[in-house]
Amino acid sequence: MLIELTEIDKSYRDRQGQPVSVLKQLSLQVEQGAFVALAGASGCGKSTLLNILGCLDRFDGGEYRFDGENVGAWSEGQRADLRNRRIGFVFQAFHLLPFLAVEANIALPFMYNHHGQRPSHEHIESLLKSVDLEGMSKRYPGELSGGQMQRVAIARALVLGADLILADEPTGNLDSAAAQGVLDLFELLVKQGKTIVMVTHDPAISARADRQIKMDGGQIVSDDHRESVGGAQ
């Protein structure tokens, strides 16, 4: 298992300092190479769950094992290192820097992580090719369509070699053709062995995943696996 969450509790404090429970005894296992869609009403805890999976946030109770390691017990430095090496984030609003060309946007996490050193030209070219944006390295985000911007953001999420992609409403700002392009790309990445957990409200989007999880009130209330061609689950 790549991800094993066991009875995770998470609460935030309200303005009065009272704890408000957001995740309640939530357990979840995700295999390497799975494509998981996560749905549920606004406020049910989806983004909180992604933040915990991405080691961006801590939890109050339970256990998180990532690739067998008890990462909930790790230091912030160890968790940041794991996040850099293995986890990529994709957001609804792309979060590209408008004053940097495509290649520089993709290079940014690499440079942060390699003391300012740029990734090789070949590395950037192969990422651009993998997200179907060959020849676009010199463009600026403002010169791209929404679907192209999101594919740049996916390339950026992969530049350090992530094998888990956490995507929070990645198609929320896209028309349906561009959304299908992002899903085609996700399917390809999953075939290459990446694991994807994607939050979406849209049943037509979640139908493209192999597994549909629904949350309500900080808990998983349904979890449907599509029969994969290989059969194993």
Ligand X SMILES: Nc1ncnc2c1ncn2[C@@H]1O[C@H](COP(=O)(O)OP(=O)(O)O)[C@@H](O)[C@H]1O
Q: What is the spatial distance between Cα 49 and Cα 62, in angstroms, rounded to a whole number? A: 13
Considering the rule CB under 5 A, would residue 48 count as an interface residue with Mg ion? no
The C-alpha torsion from 195 through 159 and 113 to 135, rounded to 10°, is -160
Considering the rule CB under 6 A, would residue 212 count as an interface residue with ligand X? no
Q: What is the spatial distance between Cα 138 and Cα 167, in angstroms, rounded to a whole number? A: 25
Q: Which residues of 13-38 are buried (b: 16+ CB within 10 A; e: fewer)?
A: eeeeeeeeebbbebebebeebbbbbb
Q: Tell the residue number behind the tokens 């749905």, with chain if given.
A: 39
Stretch that binds Mg ion, among 39-47, 82-90, 114-122, 124-132 (CB under 5 A): 39-47
The correct pick among 5, 22, 52, 96 for binding ligand X (CB under 6 A) is 22
Tell me which H or E stretch contains 225. Answer: strand 219-225
- State in angstroms the smallest separation of the CB of 52 from ligand X: 10
Tell me how many residues contact Mg ion (CB under 5 A). 2
Considering the rule CB under 5 A, would residue 171 count as an interface residue with Mg ion? no
Considering the rule CB under 5 A, would residue 47 count as an interface residue with Mg ion? yes
Binding partner of 45, given ligand X, Mg ion, none, CB within 5-8 angstroms per partner class: ligand X
Considering the rule CB under 6 A, would residue 150 count as an interface residue with ligand X? no
Whether 147 contacts 155, CB under 8 Å: no
The correct pick among 28, 34, 37, 46 for binding ligand X (CB under 6 A) is 46
The correct pick among 2, 5, 39, 44 for binding ligand X (CB under 6 A) is 44
Binding partner of 48, given Mg ion, ligand X, none, CB within 5-8 angstroms per partner class: ligand X
CB proximity list for 96: less than 8 A, separation 6 or greater? 105, 141, 149, 152, 153, 156
- State in angstroms the smallest separation of the CB of 22 from ligand X: 4
Please say which residue, 9 or 81, places its beta carbon nearer to ligand X: 9
Q: Tell the residue number behind the tokens 């979890």, with chain if given.
A: 223
- Footprint of ligand X on this chain (CB under 6 A)? 12, 22, 40, 42-48
Residues interacting with Mg ion, by CB under 5 A? 46-47
